[in-house]
Chain A
């Protein structure tokens, strides 16, 4: 109890010490601290009204941007995945597609079929890796996992499947021919 009283006195004295130290500057730049600290219910309600407007504009903005990007989506050029033809079953290889900034991973599952996905986890964009022991794609950050056959979430916090990359085998070479967002429908 004594400690509590001392703590209260120390905290209150800090406040008055600060006020005493800043008093000369306060004279040059008057600031009604007590008045400013008061927020009336009316002001807060008006603030909530502005917040509501901002949330509405934000939702509209995201929707508009998504629709705009979908309408302007370009056809991606096919690109060969170097080294994918040498993959043994139950192994994986990282590459980039369609640009150098878009990391991706190609997996050759145990049955010999190639699958490719964007390497960014849909939770918080950590790079996923292929676990040969568990035969699944795993995210090391928050223990999410994806099915290598279709990119769907097996467990963990990721909200959506991985972005799917379309793969084609031409004359023994593996080509990436398109990329689409995780399990979403195409617009237009």
Chain B
């Protein structure tokens, strides 16, 4: 399927700016998730040393959930305003 827009002089700049904003947003979200995982790791180490076995499994599950969130942000997350086709992103018909 062909992309349904005519590229204009400004469209490349807007696309680049849009992609940059996309990666910036990904970066921020990934940073926050990583920081949360650091806290979870610290809590896990403390629980392991104190032999608090009842909290170990929930902490590991929480860490796993954070990892899955990270994976989904990198692999599948897209802004809702963008539609993806087999040929790449298409701009919405508002031009």
Contacts and interface: CB of A to CB of B under 8 A. Distances in A.
Interface of A: 41-42, 44-46, 48-49, 51-53, 55-56, 58-60, 62-63, 65-67, 70, 122, 159-160, 180-187
B41 A66 contact: no
Contacts of B34: 48, 51-52, 55
| Interface SS majority for chain A | helix
| Interface SS majority for chain B | helix
Given A52-B67, A182-B50, A183-B50, 9 more contacts: A45-B74, A48-B30, A49-B74, A52-B71, A59-B41, A59-B44, A62-B41, A63-B44, A63-B56
Contact of B63 (A42, A55, A186): A55
Given A45-B23, A52-B67, A59-B60, A184 B41 contact: no
Given A44-B27, A187-B53, A63 B59 contact: yes
Contacts of B90: none
Interface string B31-53: 10110011011001111111111
B23 A41 contact: yes
B70 A49 contact: yes
A50 to B, nearest CB: 9
B52 A185 contact: yes
A66 B37 contact: no
Interface string B10-44: 00000000001001101100110110011011001
B68 to A, nearest CB: 9
Contact of A59 (B40, B50, B53): B40
Contacts of A65: 48
B49 A181 contact: yes
A184 B47 CA distance: 9
Contacts of B46: 159-160
